[in-house]
Structure 1
Amino acid sequence: MSIVILDTGCANLASMRLAIEKLGYYPIITDNPKIISSAKKMFLPGVGSASSIMNRLIKKKLVSLIKNLTFPILGICLGMQIFSSFSEESRGINMLNIIDEPVVLLDTNNLPLPHTGWNQVFYYVRNPLFHGIKEGSWFYFIHSYAFKINKYSSSQTYYGAYFTSVIQKNNFFGVQFHPEKSGKVGSRLLLNFLEM
């Protein structure tokens, strides 16, 4: 099975590959459209800014390709946020518009930003990513922006206010946390995605 990690130019590509290899899968890090098109699963990681990742996707002419893929795709952190219609980051930037909802600055009620560290994920919509994962499990977060709760939300997390921590629309899955930094429970989530 061809597993792709989209080369978004971000810093966590190697840690993503290592986390997947530990599960017995051997992904290819690439931004080659032909390899992406023939894949069976794709991870879309993201560490950095919304503008930098969108500029890279536009420059590499990957926007239309990604939007029209039909196999399962997992966006992680910023990789999830690019599914949105618009991000408030960088004074506002248009995103892929796969999910017609914006990504906004977290309303933390004076808690510090970015939201960094371990926090609980409470799910309320059945999602194959959660198989074998207990309600209220702890995952590692580092972010300042997120989706508000919306019709595509599968779970929520509280940090001053509730925000979407897992989202799904058709074959597009997104997690706001970093499963590759979340120990055994994060590995289980990655395995659930790889085996779905």
Structure 2
Amino acid sequence: MDAAKKFGQKAIYLKTDVSKKSDMEACFNETLKKFGTIDIVINNAGILDEERYELLIDTNIKGVIYGTLLGFKHMGKHRKGKGGIVVNVASIVGVRQFAGFPVYTGTKHFVIGFSRAIGSPFYYDNTGVKILSILPGFTETVLIHKVPTLKEFEELKLNEYTNNKIATFAAQP
């Protein structure tokens, strides 16, 4: 017997551009259609590409805003929901600066500030939606060393700085 037959379908895959509100709304609507309710929203989509900083901002900031607000809309007691949890994934650079990735760092600072503000007792007391943030560190992979930095600073050789500092930065307490 396969897992879906034994346990029921617990998850679905929906290709979604988190930087587009209409895509996010369609994702939530399809989830509600399939499962009837939403208990938890995990905003984990993000990119690290300083050269395409507009897309980085749209993905890392707008995606978190859309996911959080749609979570409140569909789970909030103020809208006849039963409450729930929103998890916003930031990064360790949300509490530390990292010179090699200033735009990415700024977006992760945003995630933490936004989560702290919208996770205040005022919102929770009125909606029953709890906001959590997690801040994972860098994972040492080949990809992290190939991340483009801002072209405006090519002469500063930020790629060399970034490549040499990733492991040291990730290991800091």
Q: Same fold by TM (over 0.5)? A: no
Under a length normalisation based on structure 1, what TM-score does the superposition of the two structures give?
A: 0.28
Structure of higher RCO (CA pairs closer than 8 Å, 6+ residues apart): 2
Q: Which has the higher helix share?
A: 2
Query: Based on CA coordinates, which of the two structures has the bigger radius of gyration?
Result: 2
